[in-house]
C-alpha cells in the first residue's frame, strides 16, 4: 500500500535498471512516470506516464519532478571494462552533473523521498564480505578509483540534501546486477551480458578476460529492484545499505553455467593479461536483511540460465 497512492518518477526509464524498477512499482500498484532522454521505453503500459528531456538541464529536470512523491534515480552513463580512461572520465563528468541536478530538482520540487544508487565499488579491496561500516574514507580498488569515488560523492551530495531539506533519501550500494534488458553491445557490455551474447552466438574460440578465479557477488535485477523498493519505503534515512546476493561465485563458474545453458560445447580460454578488476568483490547483506527484510530469491544458476534463454529468444531469426 505504500506505493499505491504515490507517483514515482524513474529516471533512466528506458534503461536496464529503470525498466525493472518501473515493473516492480507497477506490481506494487504504484503509479509510474518514466523520464526518457534518447531512447523509447521498453515498458508498454497505458497507465505509465512519460516525460522526455535532458535531466542535466535544470528546467527540464524540475519539470519532470512536478507532482511526484518518490524518485528513483536510475539514469547515468556506463562503460565496459575495456573502455579508455578518457571515456571513463567523460562518464564521470556526465554522471556527477546529472545526479547533482536530480537532487537539486527533487529539493526544489519538494518530493517526499528519493533513492540514490551508490555502488559496492566505493569499498577498498577486501577478502571477505564487506560491511557498510567498513568503508570510512579508504580509497577504492585502483580499478574503480574514478567510478568508486564518484559514487561515494553521490552519497555526500545526498547527505547534504537530506540534512538541509525535507527530502528523505534512501542510499543503496548495489553489487553487480544482471538480467534481461541489460546492455549486450560489444565494447560497452559488462561481464555477464558479454558472456551470454558470445555463448548464444557460439563463439569459438571462447576467450574470457582474467584468470577465471575472480570472485563476484552477482544479483538478479528483479531481486535488486525489489530491494530498492524496500529501501525507499523502510530506510529513507540517508544511511547506505548493501543490496547484493551475499555470496560470491567465480567467473569460471559463471562461464561454465552460461555455456551449459547455451548448449555451447567449447573449452573457454582464460587470459589473465587482459583487463580485469578487483580479485574478490562481495558484500555483507546482513543489514539489508535486518532493516529491510531483504532476501534474494533468484539463485545465480537459475538467473543465468533464464537470461541465456531470454537472450536467445530475443535474437532468434
- In this prediction, residue 234 carries a pLDDT of 98
Which of 78 and 267 is assigned the larger pLDDT? 267
- pLDDT tens, position by position, 137-169: 788 888 888 999 999 999 999 999 999 999 999
Q: ω before 205 within 30° of 0 (cis)?
A: yes
Residue 132, pLDDT above cutoff 90: yes
DSSP symbols for the chain = --STTSEEEEESTTSHHHHHHHHHHHHTT-EEEEEESSS--S---TT-EEEES-TTSHHHHHHHHTT-SEEEE-------TT--HHHHHHHHHHHHHHHHHHHHHHHHHT-SEEEEE--GGGSPP-SSPBPGGG-TTPPPPGGGHHHHHHHHHHHHHHHHHHHHSS-EEEEEEE-EEE-TT----TTT--HHHHHHHHHHTT-SS-EEES-S--EE-EEEHHHHHHHHHHHHHH--SS--EEES-SS-EEHHHHHHHHHHHHT-----EEETTS----SEE-B--HHHHHHH-----S-HHHHHHHHHHHHHHHH--
- In this prediction, residue 252 carries a pLDDT of 97
| Structural contact between residues 177 and 190, judged by C-beta atoms closer than 8 angstroms | no
The domain segmentation of the chain, as residue ranges, is: 7-315
**Arithmetic mean of pLDDT over the chain:** 94
- pLDDT tens, position by position, 8-27: 999 999 999 999 999 999 99
**Hey, CA dihedral for 143, 73, 172, 20, is it positive or negative?**
negative
- In this prediction, residue 276 carries a pLDDT of 77
- In this prediction, residue 152 carries a pLDDT of 95
Closest CA to 202 of 269, 271, 259, 253: 259
- In this prediction, residue 83 carries a pLDDT of 61
pLDDT band at 87 (very low <50, low <70, confident <90, very high): confident
CATH class of 7-315: alpha beta
Alpha carbons 36 and 115: distance in angstroms, whole number: 18
Alpha carbons 112 and 236: distance in angstroms, whole number: 10
Using the structure block, give the residue that is written with the C-alpha cell 578465479: 213
Alpha carbons 191 and 81: distance in angstroms, whole number: 8
Which of 188 and 108 is assigned the larger pLDDT? 108
Closest CA to 307 of 186, 221, 247: 221
- In this prediction, residue 278 carries a pLDDT of 81
**Model confidence, pTM:** 0.94
- In this prediction, residue 79 carries a pLDDT of 57
Amino acid at each position: 500500500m505504500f506505493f499505491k497512492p504515490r507517483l514515482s518518477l524513474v529516471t533512466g526509464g528506458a534503461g536496464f535498471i529503470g525498466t525493472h524498477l518501473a515493473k516492480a512499482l507497477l506490481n506494487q500498484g504504484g503509479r509510474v512516470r518514466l523520464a526518457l532522454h534518447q531512447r523509447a521505453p521498453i515498458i508498454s503500459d497505458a497507465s505509465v506516464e512519460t516525460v522526455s528531456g535532458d535531466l542535466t538541464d535544470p528546467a527540464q529536470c524540475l519539470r519532470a519532478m512536478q507532482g511526484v512523491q518518490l524518485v528513483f534515480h536510475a539514469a547515468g552513463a556506463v562503460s565496459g571494462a575495456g573502455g579508455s580512461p578518457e571515456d571513463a572520465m567523460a562518464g564521470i563528468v556526465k554522471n556527477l552533473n546529472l545526479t547533482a541536478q536530480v537532487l537539486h530538482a527533487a529539493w526544489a520540487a519538494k518530493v517526499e523521498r528519493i533513492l540514490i544508487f551508490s555502488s559496492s565499488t566505493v569499498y577498498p579491496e577486501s577478502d571477505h564480505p564487506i560491511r557498510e561500516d567498513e568503508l570510512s574514507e579508504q580509497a577504492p580498488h585502483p580499478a574503480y578509483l574514478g567510478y568508486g569515488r564518484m559514487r561515494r560523492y553521490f552519497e555526500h551530495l545526498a547527505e547534504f540534501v537530506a540534512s538541509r531539506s525535507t527530502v528523505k533519501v534512501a542510499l543503496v550500494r548495489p553489487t553487480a546486477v544482471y538480467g534481461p534488458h541489460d546492455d549486450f553491445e560489444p565494447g560497452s557490455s559488462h561481464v555477464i551480458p558479454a558472456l551470454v551474447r558470445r555463448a548464444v552466438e557460439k563463439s569459438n574460440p571462447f576467450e574470457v578476460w582474467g584468470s577465471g578465479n575472480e570472485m563476484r557477488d552477482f544479483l538478479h535485477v528483479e531481486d535488486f529492484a525489489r530491494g530498492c523498493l524496500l529501501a525507499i519505503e523502510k530506510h529513507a534515512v540517508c544511511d547506505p545499505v548493501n543490496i547484493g546476493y551475499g555470496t560470491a561465485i567465480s567467473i569460471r563458474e559463471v562461464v561454465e553455467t552460461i555455456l551449459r545453458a547455451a548448449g555451447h560445447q567449447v573449452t573457454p580460454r582464460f587470459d589473465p593479461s587482459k583487463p580485469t578488476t578487483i580479485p574478490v568483490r562481495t558484500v555483507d547483506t546482513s543489514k539489508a536483511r535486518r532493516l529491510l527484510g531483504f532476501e534474494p530469491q533468484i539463485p545465480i544458476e537459475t538467473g543465468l540460465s533464464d537470461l541465456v534463454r531470454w537472450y536467445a529468444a530475443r535474437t532468434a531469426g
